[in-house]
Amino acid sequence: MTEPRIRITVDGQPLQVEPALPLLTALRALGFPIPGLCHHPRTGEQGRCSLCIVEVRDRDGWRAEHACLLRCEPGLTVRTVSPHIHQLRSWAARLLLARGPFNEPAVEVMLRAVLAAAEKGDNGGQYPDAALPPLSADGTDAATPAMPPGCILCGRCIGMCTGIGKNKLAFLGRGKRLRIGYVHGPSDTGACGTCHACRGVCPTGFIRSNGQAAFSARLYRRRGVPRNNGD
Ligand code: SF4
Ligand code: FES
């Protein structure tokens, strides 16, 4: 039996959707072009790339929300285009671009499209360029963590590794040193190196073979520090 549909309003249009569907999924199914890199049906909501920002109306006006973290509920009123949305998405896109180059060219195409859309949007002077995070001449952001390019820290690989019960991957460190690490511990079950599940959901192509190769060998093996050191 199909679930009864609920009414939401998007950009002024009344629409019907399945209740409790992630708003990002619903909007895309309805044909609204919402960018996003960290959401994947198999790895759950991450809310990490901030490209899917939309605005939701409440008693106090419009507030910015990640569409991937919101669920459809009756009466939800959403807008997908506004100067504020463009500005927030373009900030996110610039930070993500600073993590390139990416093995998967579609990532840069999407990020540049977000910037182009923001430029065309009507935000004339309301959010001055000076407020944007600075990019250096070589295209790397001043605040880029000390980690190899190509990973946007979206967390899909962790979501997949956890979802299939292997629990080999985790976020380690904080701030500039936030990174994905290959970990050992009591919740760590099964061998890494055979399933390649993380590779299948990585949007940027950073993982070429498996999590162990990508994160243990390339990223976090420091001279004098055991490979399985948690941080
Ligand atoms: S390795 Fe890929 S899936 Fe994992 S955080 Fe980086 S970009 Fe995302
Ligand atoms: S898709 Fe929503 S924050 Fe990345």
- Give the number of the atom of ligand 1 that is nearest the alpha carbon of residue 155: 5
Give the tens place of pLDDT for each residue, 83-92.
Answer: 999 999 999 9
Query: How far is Cα 230 from Cα 216, in angstroms, rounded to an integer?
Result: 11
DSSP 3-state assignment of 181?
strand
Q: How many CB atoms lie within 10 A of CB 39?
A: 27
pLDDT at residue 190, as a whole number: 62
53-58 vs 61-66, strand pairing mode = antiparallel
Query: How far is Cα 75 from Cα 164, in angstroms, rounded to an integer?
Result: 35
Contact of 181 with 172, CB cutoff 8 Å? yes
Query: How far is Cα 87 from Cα 131, in angstroms, rounded to an integer?
Result: 10
Ligand nearest to the CA of 155: 1
How far does the centroid of ligand 1 lie from the alpha carbon of residue 31, in Å? 27
34: its two tokens:
């919402």
Q: Which residues pair with 71 in a beta bridge?
A: 22
Top mutation candidate among 25, 37, 158 for ligand 2, by most atoms within 8 Å of CB: 37
Residue 173 has pLDDT above 90, yes or no: no
Q: Which residues pair with 181 in a beta bridge?
A: 170
Q: Which of 215, 93, 96, 210 is nearest to 147 (CA)?
A: 215
How far does the centroid of ligand 2 lie from the alpha carbon of residue 52, in Å? 5
Q: Which residues pair with 140 in a beta bridge?
A: none
**Higher local confidence (pLDDT), 182 or 143:** 182
Give the tens place of pLDDT for each residue, 125-140.
Answer: 333 333 334 444 444 4
Q: Which residues pair with 16 in a beta bridge?
A: 7
Q: Within 13 Å of residue 216, how many CA atoms lie on the same side as its CB?
A: 17
Terminal alpha carbon distance of the chain: 49
Name the H helices within the chain: 23-29, 83-97, 105-120, 156-163, 197-201, 211
Q: Whose CA is nearest to atom 4 of ligand 1?
A: 157
- Give the number of the atom of ligand 2 that is nearest the alpha carbon of residue 49: 4
Give the tens place of pLDDT for each residue, 186-216.
Answer: 555 566 777 889 999 999 999 887 777 777 6
pLDDT band, very low/low/confident/very high, at 231 (cuts 50, 70, 90): very low
DSSP 3-state assignment of 85?
helix
Residue 161 has pLDDT above 60, yes or no: yes
Looking at the whole model, is its pTM more than 0.85? Answer: no
Q: What is the DSSP string of 149-169?
A: TT-----HHHHHHHHTT---E
Q: Within 13 Å of residue 2, how many CA atoms lie on the same side as its CB?
A: 5
